[in-house]
Structures are given as structure tokens and as C-alpha cells.
Amino acid sequence: MTRSVTERRVLSVIGGVIPLVFAFYVYRLHGMTDFINDYGPLQRNLLYLVTVGLLAWAGLAIDLLWRKKRDRAGAAVARFAWIMPVVAILLTTGFAGYILVPKYSGGGDVPPQLILLTTPSGHAVPNLAVSFYTAAATKNTLLWGEADGKLRHATERSAVRKHWFELSGLKPDTQYMYTVNDSSAVRFRTPPASGETFWFAAAGDAHVGNETSNTAATERMLKNIALPTNGYSLFFDLGDTAQLGFNRGIWQTAGDTFSPYTGSIPTAYVPGNHDTMLGGLGLYQRYLGLPASAGGDAPLYRRIDCGGAHFLLLDLEWELGTYTPAEKVWLEAQLKSIPPRDWTIVMCHTFFYASGGEEDGWPWYDNKAVINELTPLFKKYDVDLVISGHKHQAEVLRSDGVTYVIAGTLGGRPDTILTHTSPASLWLKQGVLGFADVTIQGSSATVAFRDADDKVLYRTTIKK
Ligand SMILES: [Fe+2]
Ligand SMILES: [Fe+2]
């Protein structure tokens, strides 16, 4: 056997292995089982890649069977056996480069945000953290305290990139301020005391970094939500904040878009499938997530209590691919522990009941897997309200006494396909941007949907 024949066969083996290993690696990344199963274009591209790898092996097999032929057919087989592994290696390298280059390059500093933490027992107001990121490791100082009181001083022990200052022991309905390294002071108000009326806003799917997203509208909505005179105490972002979660530059743009507003209103993010896609989980954690040192519940799902309202934030990004057994046990334990007279509000990226139509090979309506798995729990434990994104439309639905709100309307291109109306639907508006505006007032809650110009398009009341 000549040296070139040996080289060709070694190349064929490698050309078959590389796409398979790469496809398996992608499939195993956080959230990617659902993404690949449910999103036709990605599924097709991975299938093409694996097929090219298999063709490289097919070329090797034919080459081995044909090895004694020195005719034109034998030469064609030899060419095929050379070309297929080269194509397989080039395609895999291209795909890997598409993910890894933006993941490990670009991106700069991201300004401070005020992140909601799990509420420690005995406290009426959730702890908060001032969180920001610097491209280079730096050591920072935070001054914070009641706006008209004595300020506290905290300095990081060493130079780091992810900066995390926890603000604990906060009093309700009190104005606080903070300043990082003597920059201009940011003021914020803590939520009111237990039993007082309070407002919160929720929306997702800003999809910053997608050319079809309306990021100017995203900023307009965030500005309205953070405006002190509008009275919102909390803001929940329902995921898909970044279009490509593996792209540092996009995360920086998202941070620059959100921080001017989320720096002054207590904010919680839930992970969306776009945030964590193709290995984006690490960047999501870096820019929006809680560090492991934050303690409490697992950082991807957590509970936030605000007086008599209990928010359970889940990691449910599409179907059940990210819903771990540990998360399931945790959710049931939380639901069990909430007194029936209190408000139980679940938030996650993916939707449960919804009207819509099929797109990219997946039925974007009544999400069967999550309905079957979670809604019996919601019914059993009297969950009051479930707020989700993922579908880019505004919809309010009710099933088994639970109200479901879809508000995937924070800037990503609105959905327009409607071939199936959910039997649970009360109100649907497609082609609109906006956010859910919820008022908790004793034993009743008002759920409204406001468009990007702050106009109320729908309102319903829920009684305990
Ligand atoms: Fe989305
Ligand atoms: Fe999504």
C-alpha cells in the first residue's frame, strides 16, 4: 500500500469521526436537545454535517473494496475518498468557528444592573445585587445605603471580571442609592411592605442582536418600566434577551441596552433558549446570571418572595430538555410551602397554552410536553398566574383556574402565524410589542397588557 493510500484512509477515518463528535457535543450542550428537536433549520444543518461524515466513511469502505482496481472507476473512488473527509473536516471547522469565534472574542464592559436574589427567611424584601462585568479584571468599590441615610462601603477583595455586590437587610418601600467607584449615583425604591398594593412588569424575547428586532421599542418599554412615577417595584425578563447567546458582542449590546434601566429597578432574568444556545450558558451566567457564590437555590431557577407574592422562576426553555429532576423536586417543594392565601406566580421562558401555528417544523401552540408535565402541579397547588415568553405575541389564557400570560413581546419580531386557537385563550394580539403589567392588591390581581407606547390593550382581574 502506498503512502498516499494510507494517508487517504487515515483522513477518511478522521473525516467521519470529527462531524459525529462535534454533533454529539452540540447535542449535549445545555438546552440543545430541545433546540435541535424543535428547530428544523438547525436540525437539518447538523444532519447534513453528520451525513458528510458518514459519506467520508462510505468513501473509505468503497476504497477498501475497490483497492485492486486501477481503472477509471478506481480513480473516481480514490478521488471521492479524498474529497469527502476534506469536506467533512472543513464543514465542521466552519461550524465550530461560527460558534467559537464570537464566543471567545469581542465584548467589553457591561454597566451595573440591580439583580433580584432569593429572599432570605424572615425578610420582607428580597436581597438585591449590583452586578456588572468588566472585560479586564478590576477591583471596584460600591457605596450604597438609604438615599437620605449613612452610606455603606464595600470593596472587592481582588481584581475580578464579574462584579457582584449584595445589598442585604433592605427595608420595604424605601429609597436607596448606590454608586460604583464614585460614578453618578443610581436611586431605586424597594417594594412595599407585605399587604400593600404593588406593581410588577414582565416581558421577554427582546432578541437583541437580531436585525429584525425592534431594540428602540425595547428601550422605550424598559424606560417606562423603570420610570419611578410609573410605580413598578420589580421587572422580570422572560428570556431570549440575546439573539445568539454564544456571541459576546451581542451580550454586550444587550447589557448596554438594558442596564440604563435595569440598574434602577430590581430585575430578575430567566434563561431563554436563545440565551443559552450553542454553549451560550456560560455567557448568560456571566452577564445576567447569578454567580455560584450567590448561594440559595440553583442559579438557573429560584424563588423570590415579595410580601404575600411568591415568584417561582424556572429554567424551562422550550420543552422539557432543561427541566432537570432536581428542578422538578425543587418546584414541588416550593409549591407545597406557599400558603394557599398567598399569590403563587410562575415565570419561565417557554409557554404552556398558546394559540399559533406551525413554523420551522414545530407546532408553536399548546406546548404539549410542558402542559402534561407541569400543569397538573399548577392545578394541585393553586398556582394563580403563569407568565412566559418564547412565543412573540400577547395572549391571556385560562385553564383549570390558572391564568396564563404570554408576553414574548419585548422587541423580537412578532409572530404572525395563526392556524390553531387554544381552547384556553381569552385574548390574543399578534403583531404587537409590549409587556405584562400586574397589580397585586390584597386578594385580587389585575393583569394588563401594555403596548410599546404604554397603552393598555387588555385587562383582566384574578381573585384569590
Ligand atoms: Fe424568542
Ligand atoms: Fe425562545
Closest-approaching ligand to the CA atom of 415: 1
- pTM, two decimal places: 0.95
Q: Using the mean position of ligand 1's atoms as its centre, give its distance from the Cα of residue 348 in Å.
A: 12
Nearest ligand for residue 410 CA: 1
C-alpha cell of 401? Answer: 383556574
Q: How many whole angstroms from 240 Cα to the centroid of ligand 2?
A: 5
Q: Indicate the average pLDDT of the chain.
A: 93
pLDDT digits (tens, 9 = 90+) for 11-63: 889 999 999 999 999 999 999 999 999 999 999 999 999 999 999 999 888 88
Q: Which ligand is nearest to the CA of 412?
A: 1
d(CA 240, CA 405): 17
Average confidence (pLDDT) over 280-306? 81
Residue 190 CA to ligand 1 center (angstroms) comes to 30
- The most confident of the ranges 116-130, 155-169, 296-310, 365-379 is 365-379
Cα 317 to averaged position of ligand 1 atoms, centre (Å): 10
Q: Which ligand is nearest to the CA of 317?
A: 2
Residues above pLDDT 90, as percent of the chain: 82
CA of 187 to the centre of ligand 1 (A): 31
Query: What is residue 382's predicted lDDT score, i.e. its pLDDT?
Result: 97
User: How far is Cα 333 from Cα 325, in angstroms, rounded to an integer?
Assistant: 12
The predicted pLDDT at position 73 comes to 76
273 CA to middle of ligand 1, Å? 8
**pLDDT for 4:** 76
**What integer pLDDT is reported at residue 3 of this predicted model?**
59
- For 44-138, strand residue ranges (E) read 110-116, 128-138
Which residue has better confidence, 304 or 7?
A: 304
CA 164 to centroid of ligand 2, rounded, Å: 27
Distance 318 CA to ligand 1 centre (A): 10
Query: What's the maximum distance between 2 C-alpha atoms anywhere in the chain?
Result: 91
Lowest mean pLDDT among 22-26, 57-61, 109-113, 140-144: 57-61
Q: Please identify every residue whose CB atom is under 5 Å from ligand 1, which is an ion.
A: 205, 240
Q: Which ligand is nearest to the CA of 273?
A: 2
Distance CA 33, CA 166 (A): 35
Which numbered ligand comes closest to the C-alpha of 205? 1
Model confidence band, residue 204 (pLDDT cutoffs 50, 70, 90): very high
Q: What is the pLDDT of residue 393?
A: 98
CA 240 – ligand 1 centroid, Å: 5
Q: Pinpoint the residues of the chain covered by CATH 3.60.21.10.
A: 110-135+195-463
Model confidence pLDDT, tens digit, residues 441-464: 999 999 999 999 999 999 999 998
**425: CA distance to ligand 1 center in Å?**
20
CA of 301 to the centre of ligand 2 (A): 17
Q: What is the pLDDT at residue 175?
A: 96
Give 69's pLDDT tier (boundaries 50, 70, 90): low
Write down the pLDDT at residue 68: 64
Q: Could you give the percent of the chain with pLDDT greater than 70?
A: 97
Note the pLDDT tens digit of each residue in 318-357: 999 999 999 999 999 999 999 999 999 999 999 999 999 9
**Across 230-251, average pLDDT:** 97
Separation of alpha carbons 375 and 346, rounded Å: 11
CA of 392 to the centre of ligand 1 (A): 6
> What are the φ/ψ torsions at residue 7 (nearest 5 degrees)?
-60, -40
Q: Is the pLDDT of residue 378 over 90?
A: yes
Residue 294 pLDDT: 65
Determine the pLDDT at residue 307: 86
Mean pLDDT over residues 211-233, rounded?
Answer: 97
Q: Is the pLDDT of residue 311 over 90?
A: yes
Cα-to-centroid distance, 391 and ligand 1 (Å): 6
Are the beta carbons of 131 and 115 closer than 8 angstroms? yes
Residue 120 has a pLDDT of 77
Superfamily of domain 110-135+195-463: Metallo-dependent phosphatases (3.60.21.10)
Distance 82 CA to ligand 1 centre (A): 42
Q: How far, in Å, is the centroid of ligand 1 from the Cα of 206?
A: 7
Nearest to 242 by CA among 287, 199, 203, 200: 287
Q: What's the pLDDT score for residue 291?
A: 76
In this structure, how many other beta carbons lie within 10 angstroms of the beta carbon of residue 26? 20
pLDDT at 186 over 90: yes
pLDDT for the residue numbered 75: 81
Counting ligands in written order, which one lies closest to the CA of residue 393? Answer: 1
Question: Residue 298 — very low, low, confident or very high, per pLDDT cuts 50/70/90?
Answer: low
CA distance 200 to 387: 12
Which numbered ligand comes closest to the C-alpha of 318?
2
Centre of ligand 1 to C-alpha 434, Å, is: 14
Ligand 2 centre and the CA of 388: distance in Å?
10
How far apart CA 296 and CA 237 sit, in angstroms, is 20
Distance (Å) from CA 214 to ligand 1 centroid: 13
- Residue 277, phi then psi, degrees to nearest 5: -60, 145
Instruction: Name the least confident of 1-5, 281-285, 334-338.
Output: 1-5
CA atoms within 13 A on the CB side of 102: 20
- Distance of CA 145 from the midpoint of ligand 1 (Å): 37
Q: Is 268 helix (H, G, I), strand (E, B) or coil?
A: strand
How many whole angstroms from 211 Cα to the centroid of ligand 2?
16
